[in-house]
């Protein structure tokens, strides 16, 4: 009996989930290959929504997708664990042991066989080796970190709500004014507004948010400066202090220091600037990588030294015809995932993986919680079209709806959207536990 090929995907973010779903439908369900997804977590949360998890606006218990149940329904398998190495000679992925919260081993280190491997583990914030960042900042790279931020914020609000005589404000600094930093700054103000309805005697006047960006403007990756200007105006209306052309040189437990020597007092620093691949990827399995640990790949997403190993999304350095590299964008990860699935299917049929990825900027949207939404659509066509208000909000929410439909299918995805809408009506607007 012919042995099925093992296709292993490491990383259950948007790209990893979409390639696992597509290959599960095309190959797994038809017994043409064994498809396995590996992730360190047990459930998937769409990364653009992590800032809502951090403020309690999104309930992980409702919105997270269980990898195991999704795998069972879509023709692939799931293994929980963290990849530590790749044994290219044996064609195996090596996973770290899984331990409980007391450090006791639940599962030993394991080796997972592969014939084709897709690395899709995304990125983490880049600390640029600035002193104090790792020790004193919090990050928003995954669900666990987002939930830890939520708890820290709630603890601070609770202390202030029970000590009304305190005049000092809650000082929060957000470093990095990309989409995540901008949306997080606005979402915190929304959270404080909502907390007033839960018995907390606080309001936004107690919250002092400072958004810090090294570039000359916020949202530096967004081509249209009008969008940056519109978002900056809205943040100022909310009371967010926006500091551009400001580089941080040190972080302590109580303040940030700028290159100009200014100290910015802070009770909590959220670091969301820059991206890099996790450090353990650097040279993993003898593969080529760059200075930010991304695996070097060809335009068809194959790694440069091994045609059976692919890398997609933020952890991949994919060249473009103009000499640039594919930017670390969610839309790029998704598009690379679908292309890579086609290339693997071609290879299983004995064909050359001929599809190559050409990045087209479909636009950028920034959602300032319930306050405002602004963005640019179809950027690759003459600079695109700027949208804001209700139209922009509709397009923004439709991106998540499309993600649900692609993961669950039209019928179930649509039903889930209705169910989530009803849940948001009958449940509290903030997750407080």
- Give the tens place of pLDDT for each residue, 171-182: 999 999 988 888
User: What mean pLDDT, rounded, does the chain reach?
Assistant: 85
d(CA 422, CA 416): 10
Q: What pLDDT, on the 0 to 100 scale, is given for residue 339?
A: 97
Asked if residues 282 and 252 have their Cβ atoms less than 8 Å apart, the reply is no
List the CATH code of the domain at 6-123+277-349.
3.50.50.60
d(CA 246, CA 165): 34
Q: What pLDDT, on the 0 to 100 scale, is given for residue 248?
A: 97
Q: What pLDDT, on the 0 to 100 scale, is given for residue 245?
A: 96
- List of residues 6+ apart from 104 with CB closer than 8 A: none
Q: What pLDDT, on the 0 to 100 scale, is given for residue 322?
A: 92
- List of residues 6+ apart from 376 with CB closer than 8 A: 222, 223, 224, 227, 363, 364, 365, 383, 384, 385, 386, 387
pTM: 0.86
Q: Where are the domains of the chain?
A: 6-123+277-349, 126-274
Q: What pLDDT, on the 0 to 100 scale, is given for residue 318?
A: 97
Tell me which residue has tokens 């583990």: 121
Q: What pLDDT, on the 0 to 100 scale, is given for residue 369?
A: 57
Q: What pLDDT, on the 0 to 100 scale, is given for residue 120?
A: 97
Spans of the chain below 50 pLDDT? 1, 165, 428-433
Question: DSSP of 391-423, one letter per residue?
Answer: HHHHHHHHHHHHHHHHHH-HHHHHHHHHHHHHH
Same fold, 6-123+277-349 and 126-274: yes
Q: What pLDDT, on the 0 to 100 scale, is given for residue 165?
A: 46
Q: What pLDDT, on the 0 to 100 scale, is given for residue 67?
A: 95
Q: What pLDDT, on the 0 to 100 scale, is given for residue 228?
A: 87
Q: What pLDDT, on the 0 to 100 scale, is given for residue 100?
A: 85
d(CA 16, CA 23): 11
Enter the tokens of residue 217: 């403007």
Fold of domain 126-274: FAD/NAD(P)-binding domain (3.50.50)
Enter the tokens of residue 104: 């006791």
Long-range contacts at 243-246 (CB < 8 A, ≥ 24 apart): 243/210, 243/211, 243/212, 243/213, 244/177, 244/213, 244/215, 244/216, 244/217, 244/218, 245/213, 245/214, 245/215, 245/216, 246/212, 246/213, 246/214
Q: What pLDDT, on the 0 to 100 scale, is given for residue 216?
A: 95
Asked if residues 316 and 334 have their Cβ atoms less than 8 Å apart, the reply is no
Q: What pLDDT, on the 0 to 100 scale, is given for residue 103?
A: 85
Rounded alpha-carbon distances, angstroms, from residue 118 to 26, 47, 332: 16, 19, 15
List, for residues 261-302, the tens digit of each pLDDT value.
999 999 999 999 888 999 999 999 999 999 999 999 999 999
């Amino acid at each position: 009996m012919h042995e099925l090929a093992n296709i292993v995907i490491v990383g259950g973010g948007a790209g990893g989930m979409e390639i696992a779903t597509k290959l599960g439908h095309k190959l797994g369900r038809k017994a043409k290959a064994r498809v396995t997804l590996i992730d360190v977590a047990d459930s998937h949360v769409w990364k653009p929504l992590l800032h809502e998890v951090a403020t309690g606006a999104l309930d992980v218990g409702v919105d997270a997708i269980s990898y195991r149940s999704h795998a069972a329904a879509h023709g692939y398998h799931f293994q929980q664990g963290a990849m530590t190495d790749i044994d290219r000679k044996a064609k195996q992925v090596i996973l770290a042991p899984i331990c409980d919260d007391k450090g006791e081993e639940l599962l030993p280190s394991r080796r997972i066989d592969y014939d084709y491997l897709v690395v899709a583990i995304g990125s983490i914030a880049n600390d640029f080796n600035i002193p104090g960042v790792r020790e004193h900042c919090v990050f928003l790279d995954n669900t666990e970190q987002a939930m830890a931020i939520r708890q820290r914020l709630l603890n601070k609000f609770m202390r202030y709500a029970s000590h009304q005589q305190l005049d000092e404000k809650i000082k929060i600094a957000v470093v990095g004014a990309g989409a995540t930093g901008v949306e997080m700054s606005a979402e915190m103000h929304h959270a404080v507004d909502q907390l007033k309805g839960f018995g907390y005697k606080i309001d936004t006047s107690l919250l002092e948010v400072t958004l810090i960006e090294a570039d000359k403007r916020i949202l530096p990756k967004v081509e249209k400066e009008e969008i940056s200007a519109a978002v900056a105006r809205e943040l100022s209306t909310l009371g967010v202090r926006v500091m551009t052309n400001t580089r941080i040189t040190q972080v302590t437990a109580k303040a940030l220091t700028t290159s100009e020597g200014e100290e910015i007092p802070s009770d909590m620093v959220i670091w969301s600037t820059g991206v890099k691949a996790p450090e353990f990827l650097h040279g993993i399995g003898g593969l080529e990588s760059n200075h930010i640990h991304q695996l070097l790949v060809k335009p068809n997403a194959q790694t440069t030294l091994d045609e059976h190993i692919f890398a997609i999304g933020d952890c991949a350095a994919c060249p473009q015809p103009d000499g640039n590299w594919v930017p670390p964008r969610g839309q790029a990860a998704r598009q690379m995932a679908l292309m890579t699935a086609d290339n693997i299917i071609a290879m299983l049929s004995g064909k050359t993986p001929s599809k190559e990825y050409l990045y087209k900027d479909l636009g950028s949207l920034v959602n300032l919680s319930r306050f405002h939404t602004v963005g640019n659509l179809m950027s690759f066509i003459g600079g695109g079209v700027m949208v804001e208000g209700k139209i922009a909000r509709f397009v923004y929410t439709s991106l998540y709806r499309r993600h649900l439909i692609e993961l669950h299918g039209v019928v179930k995805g649509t039903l889930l959207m209705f169910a989530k809408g009803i849940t948001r009506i009958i449940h509290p607007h903030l997750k407080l536990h």
